[in-house]
């Protein structure tokens, strides 16, 4: 009973930080850093499937409420990210190490970008611009660095099967 309430509060906190605090730090910060997407990728790799789907649906619902995209955009992104990460984890990743954690976050960013590109299909001039791809590269770098920080600070608390960073 306490776990869903705690997860809901964490998701609400991350959505509030994403929507209100990050834009006040700079206009480009929310474009580079997506905290709910990072949380969904972490939960998809480290938690069981049912709980990860619950987190994806709840985070998608909260972000879709404030999103300029169509309703269901973030829900679709988060659910597809969880499904893709779980598929790769069950079939290709051997352990929950730093490499699999970085690839899981890369997969979630690629799903986010692919669905975003489908949404921006009619605005082809914006998609083909250099600044669009520079922000995507910056997003990959920022999420990669934050993933490394999360792995080394929170990894021992969650527990791993292997103590190796890369195996």
Residue 128 lies in a domain: yes
**How is residue 86 written in tokens?**
């779980």
Which secondary structure element, helix H or strand E, spans residue 147, and what is its range? helix 130-158
Q: Let me know if residue 167 belongs to a domain.
A: no
DSSP string spanning 88-137? HHHHT--SSSHHHHHHHHHHHHHHHHHHHHHHTTT-HHHHTSHHHHHHHH
Instruction: Report the predicted TM-score, pTM, of the whole model to 2 decimal places.
Output: 0.83
Tell me whether residue 69 is in a domain.
yes
Please tell me the distance from the alpha carbon of residue 72 to that of residue 134, in angstroms, as a whole number.
Answer: 26
Domain membership flag for residue 165: no
| Tens-place pLDDT, residues 85-97 | 999 988 888 777 8
**Number of folded domains in the chain?**
1
Q: Mean pLDDT, to the nearest integer, of 118-145?
A: 78
Is 138 part of a structural domain of the chain? yes
Reported as a pLDDT band with limits 50, 70 and 90, residue 166 is low
Give the pLDDT band (50/70/90) at residue 83: very high
- Answer yes or no: is pLDDT of 17 > 80: yes
Domain of 106 in residue numbering reads as 2-158
Task: Classify residue 30: in a domain, yes or no.
Answer: yes
């Amino acid at each position: 009973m306490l776990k869903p309430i705690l997860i809901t509060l964490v998701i609400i906190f991350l959505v509030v930080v994403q929507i209100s605090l990050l834009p006040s730090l700079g206009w480009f910060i929310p474009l580079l850093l997506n905290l709910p997407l990072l949380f969904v990728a972490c939960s998809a790799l480290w938690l069981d499937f049912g709980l990860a789907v619950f987190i994806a649906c709840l985070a998608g619902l909260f972000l879709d409420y404030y999103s300029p995209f169509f309703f269901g955009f973030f829900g679709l992104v988060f659910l597809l990210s969880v499904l893709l990460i779980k598929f790769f984890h069950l079939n290709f990743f051997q352990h929950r190490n730093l490499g699999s954690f970085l690839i899981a976050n890369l997969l979630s960013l690629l799903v986010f970008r692919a669905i975003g590109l489908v949404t921006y299909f009619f605005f082809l001039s914006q998609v083909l611009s250099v600044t669009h791809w520079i922000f995507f590269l910056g997003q990959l770098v920022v999420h990669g660095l934050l993933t490394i920080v999360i792995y080394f600070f929170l990894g021992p608390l969650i527990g791993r099967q292997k103590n190796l960073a890369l195996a």
